[in-house]
Structures are given as structure tokens and as C-alpha cells.
């Protein structure tokens, strides 16, 4: 038996907390590689195993499955101390990542002065409501070409020079506002701490882009795990109340180095109600008692900031019994008035169109209606016009399209028979 490799991206469609980690954990056994391509430890996924919850901020959620190779892409910003804590927690629960973890040499590192700058900004008059973990300043230093990449850790003698310029800018900013006191470690302590924290990860740093390209050419299935969600995207979200990375589909390609041809499908995750952490507009926020249980209940988000906003989606989904059409469309049909948009052919003694009333004639999944209408007793308000012709005797039956199981999750590798 063989199967067609399908590379799938899991993305959030709202402001996060949609349950992406659960879906990634469910689909991971079908994939050889699980890739995290953007974000930092401001996001995370909670996975429940044997009644115990495991919070993963930076380690891909496929870590729980021994057959998955984990890749941290170049679009991620890493706090190495937090990353080590996650690996230790997984090891304590019997989950070993030895030999199946690769960290991109192009990924940037979150440093203590990034965290200090993030907290200093939140003390000002226009706080955004960030998690205060230094993710925004780390991306800012990356864009300003003052960041430190994982590949720089392989040359410890150059770390001080790489850190110095960004550190001085942060020190000057914080010193200019003594009314907002923020503790800033010394440059020497930051350099020494980074050397110590990076020692266990040096063997894991490599060329993640080349690894993923080789896996794609071999036809190995790849699962891409998105963090945050579309409405928090730095370009396409509710700016300025957004995160600092591209957490929509475009961030996948810049955060991995793969071309769009490498992706076969996208699975968007949403939930019936919407929550978000931090500040930002929410036009349909629930201020009544209905929204309170989500605020007071057990936190459902991995970051430690509590839920603030709860609302219904702006677009209510159409219920199965609701019909399409403009207002008054069906009332005109029931009154038997012909015209544009109103059903012409009515079943005798009933209201509604013949396709809605007779289950034998109702089309399903967009297929054409049956051609044999001879058994239906029709009443035409315009005799001689638009009357359906009965099928000719002995006419061959039209071929049907092959059936597809629409319950199969999009992107799940479809098994097919092949040479053994």
C-alpha cells in the first residue's frame, strides 16, 4: 500500500484559542514532519494526554508522537530558557525529543533586553496588551538588523558585538523615562546567560530550509502548525492590536523557505464564539452574564494573560432549515404568483417547490436533478410553457460523478492502492 503525500497547514481563523493544538495532535500521526514557522512563546497549544494537559509554547505539537520529526522554522523567535523548560517537562513525562528536533540557524533569539523593552512600552499611555515576553522587540531588532540568530550562537566570540548595538538602544530608551522603572540586566550578564542557555541546543541548530526541501522532494508529508490566528496578523489583522509576525498563510512560506507549490491544503480552525487576549476592538463583545463564564472559568489559553473579550461571530452561520433568496421570495411562491425568483411548478395540494417537498426529486451535493419527472403530478400556472419533458423510454441513465467522502479532514493523506 502507498499513499499520496499531502502537505497541510493548520491556521486559526479568529484571534487564536480556536483549538489548533488539538487538531495538530490529532493529525500528527499521519505526517512525518511537523513544522512551527512563526511566533514565539506568546502563543501556545494545550494538548491533553491521559487526562493530563501539556502546554507547548514553542515546541511543535507533534512532539507527543515518536514518529514525527520536529522543525522550528526561521520565522520563529525563541526564548531558549523557556524552550529548555518545555523539553524538560516533556522528558519528565517520558517524551524524548532526541534525534527528532531541528532548529533553523536563521531563527532569532529573544533576549532579556527585548523583554525589558516590551514591559516598558506597556507602562506607557497607549498599551496594546502584549504578553510582555519580548516577542515584538525581538522582531523589531530582526527587521533593524540588530538581532541575534541561532547560527550566531555557534560563534560565541562574536556574541557581545552582535548584542551591543540593540542593547544600547534599549538602555537609552528606558533611561529617558525614570517614571517607568524597568529592570535591565547588564550587557555582560546577558552575554554570559545566552552562552550558558544555548549550550544544549548547539547540536540541534542546522539548515531547516534544506531539510524541508529534501523532505518535500522525497514526498514525505509535512504538517505546518500556525500560531495565533489570522486576525492577529501584523499585515492583515486588526492593526495595531495584533502580534508581530505573519500568522496568516504568507508567513508559512517566509518562515520555512518553501515555495507555494509545496503546500497542498489549508485547514482553518474556528469556534462558535470568539475570544481574544489583550486590548483591541470587538464590536459584538458579550458584556452580559453569557460572556462571564469564559472570563471566570478555567483558562483555555496557554499564555498566562486572562481572557478579556468574549463575543459571537459577526456572521451567523445559516441554519439547515433556512433558505436562500431575497426577502419575500418564498412568500411569493406560496401565493402561486409566477415571476422571477418564484418557483413555477407546484405540487398539487402542497405549498413549496417540488424539490423541497419531494425527497426523491431533491438534488443533493449540487448534482443535477433527476431527469424522470413523469411520476410527479404538476400544476403549471402557464400551460404549455416551461413544462419539463419526461425522459424518453429506454434512455440510458446519466453517469454520476465518483463519490467523495466529504467527512475526511482536508489535507489528510488519502490512502490509495498501488504497487507493493
pLDDT given at position 31: 95
The count of C-alpha atoms lying within 13 angstroms of the C-alpha of 2, restricted to the half-sphere facing its C-beta, is: 7
The 3-state DSSP class for residue 243 equals: coil
Sequence-separated (6 or more) residues with CB below 8 Å from residue 325: 341
CATH classification (class only), 2-108+202-272: alpha beta
Q: String of b and e for 154-166 (b: at least 16 CB within 10 Å)? A: eeeeebbebbeeb
pLDDT tens for the chain, 420 residues: list them. 334 458 999 999 988 888 888 898 889 999 999 999 998 887 766 777 666 677 788 898 888 888 999 999 999 999 999 999 999 988 988 888 989 999 999 999 999 999 999 999 888 777 777 778 899 999 999 999 999 999 999 999 999 999 999 999 999 998 888 778 888 999 999 999 999 999 999 999 999 999 999 999 999 999 999 988 999 999 999 888 888 999 999 999 999 999 999 999 999 999 887 887 777 777 777 777 766 655 544 444 444 444 445 555 555 555 555 555 555 554 444 444 444 444 444 444 444 444 445 555 444 444 444 444 444 444 545 555 545 555 555 555 555 555 555 554 555 555 444 443
Which residue numbers are catalytic?
A: 17, 45
- Distance (Å, rounded) from C-alpha 88 to C-alpha 26? 23
In the chain, domain spans: 2-108+202-272, 109-196
DSSP states of 314-383:
SSPPPPTTPPPSSTTHHHHHHTT--STTS-S-EETT--SBHHHH-TTT---TTPPPPS--TTS-EE-SST
Q: Which of 17, 4, 27, 3 is nearest to 224 (CA)?
A: 27
Residue 137, H or E segment: helix 135-143
Regarding the domain with residue range 109-196, which homologous superfamily does it belong to in the CATH classification? Adenylosuccinate Synthetase, subunit A, domain 2 (1.10.300.10)
Asked whether 269 and 17 are in contact (CB, 8 A), the reply is no
Amino acid at each position: 500500500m502507498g499513499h499520496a503525500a499531502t502537505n497541510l497547514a493548520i491556521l486559526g481563523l479568529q484571534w487564536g484559542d480556536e483549538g489548533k493544538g488539538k487538531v495538530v495532535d490529532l493529525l500528527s500521526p499521519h505526517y512525518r514532519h511537523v513544522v512551527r514557522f512563526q511566533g514565539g512563546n506568546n502563543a501556545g497549544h494545550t494538548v491533553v494526554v491521559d487526562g493530563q494537559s501539556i502546554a507547548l509554547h514553542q515546541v511543535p505539537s507533534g512532539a507527543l508522537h515518536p514518529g514525527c520529526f520536529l522543525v522550528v522554522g526561521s520565522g520563529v523567535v525563541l526564548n531558549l530558557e523557556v524552550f529548555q523548560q518545555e523539553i524538560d517537562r516533556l522528558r519528565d513525562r517520558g517524551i524524548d525529543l532526541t534525534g527528532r528536533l531541528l532548529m533553523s540557524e536563521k531563527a532569532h533569539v529573544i533576549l532579556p533586553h527585548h523583554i525589558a523593552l516590551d514591559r516598558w512600552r506597556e507602562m506607557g499611555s497607549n498599551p496594546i496588551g502584549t504578553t510582555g515576553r519580548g516577542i515584538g522587540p525581538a522582531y523589531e531588532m530582526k527587521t533593524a538588523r540588530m538581532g541575534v540568530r541561532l547560527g550566531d550562537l555557534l560563534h560565541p566570540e562574536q556574541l557581545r558585538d552582535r548584542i551591543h548595538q540593540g542593547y544600547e538602544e534599549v538602555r537609552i530608551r528606558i533611561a529617558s523615562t525614570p517614571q517607568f522603572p524597568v529592570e535591565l540586566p547588564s550587557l555582560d550578564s546577558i552575554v554570559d546567560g545566552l552562552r550558558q542557555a544555548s549550550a544544549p541546543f548547539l547540536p540541534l541548530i542546522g539548515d531547516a530550509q534544506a531539510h524541508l526541501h529534501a523532505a518535500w522532494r522525497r514526498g514525505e508529508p509535512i504538517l505546518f502548525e500556525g500560531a495565533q490566528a489570522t486576525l492577529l496578523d501584523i499585515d492583515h489583522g486588526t492593526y495595531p492590536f495584533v502580534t508581530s509576525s505573519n500568522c496568516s498563510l504568507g508567513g508559512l512560506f517566509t518562515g520555512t523557505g518553501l515555495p507555494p507549490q509545496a503546500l497542498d491544503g489549508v485547514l482553518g480552525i474556528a469556534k462558535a464564539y470568539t475570544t481574544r487576549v489583550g486590548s483591541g476592538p470587538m464590536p459584538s463583545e458579550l458584556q452580559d452574564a453569557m460572556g462571564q463564564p469564559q472570563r471566570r472559568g478555567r483558562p483555555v489559553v496557554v499564555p498566562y494573560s486572562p481572557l478579556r473579550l468574549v463575543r459571537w461571530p459577526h456572521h451567523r452561520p445559516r441554519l439547515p432549515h433556512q433558505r436562500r433568496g431575497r426577502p419575500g421570495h418564498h412568500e411569493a411562491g406560496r401565493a402561486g404568483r409566477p415571476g422571477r425568483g418564484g418557483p413555477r411548478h407546484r405540487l398539487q395540494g402542497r405549498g413549496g417547490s417540488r424539490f423541497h417537498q419531494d425527497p426523491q426529486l431533491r438534488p443533493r451535493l449540487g448534482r443535477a436533478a433527476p431527469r424522470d419527472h413523469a411520476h410527479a403530478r404538476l400544476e403549471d400556472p402557464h400551460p404549455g410553457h416551461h413544462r419539463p419533458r419526461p425522459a424518453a423510454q429506454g434512455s440510458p441513465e446519466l453517469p454520476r460523478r465518483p463519490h467523495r467522502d466529504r467527512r475526511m479532514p482536508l489535507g489528510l493523506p488519502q490512502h490509495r492502492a498501488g504497487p507493493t
